[in-house]
Structure 1
Amino acid sequence: MLPKTLTFLSSIGLALPALAMAATELDTNGDGLLTLDEVQVVLPDTTAESFTAMDANSDGALDVEEVGMAQDAGLLPKG
């Protein structure tokens, strides 16, 4: 699981400078996914509604693919 988590955090770090600033602290539960609470640490204006729009598979968390799709849709800033 550690390589997957590190890969995810590296991807976030390259893709979102705002998230990169707190990448080591973002995934507080260490599952390799970002929850709304974790995203709001560095992007406090993220609402439940906008997070739901980014959460393509409706699992309550963002994976690397969902972050990329959210960037392409303009819901998250691009790096």
Structure 2
Amino acid sequence: MKTTVLTLVTTLGLALPVASMGQTSTEVDANGDGVLTIDEVQAVYPEITADAFTAMDVNADGALDNDEVLAAQEAGMMPPTEG
């Protein structure tokens, strides 16, 4: 039972930053690859500029992973997690 709960908590913890951007993860991550491209982000948040996206993309791989999304939310660069 503890293993099941720990697995569930870990899975939710990794998925929440993308899923909690005011949309479901499948609505934001249109191609389902687990990261967000500038096109996917701007489809949901058109006010986020290319320069802002580049600043959020800390590892400069052209996509936002869960850690980068969470950091951007905490820095106020992307809308925070909803309720």
Question: Taking structure 2 as the reference length, what is the TM-score of the superposition?
Answer: 0.71
5+ residue gaps, structure 2, are: 1-10
User: 1:18-71: CA deviations, max 9, x gaps?
Assistant: xx1x53232222211000000111101111100000000000000000001101
Max Rg structure:
2
The Cα shift of 1:8 comes to 8.6
Report how many aligned residue pairs link the two structures: 70
Q: Which secondary structure does the structure 2 equivalent of 1:41 belong to?
A: helix
Q: Partner of 1:26 in structure 2?
A: 28
Identity over the aligned pairs, expressed in percent? 51
What is the TM-score of this pair, normalised by structure 1? 0.74
Give runs of ≥4 in structure 1 deviating > 3 Å.
6-10
Partner of 1:41: 43
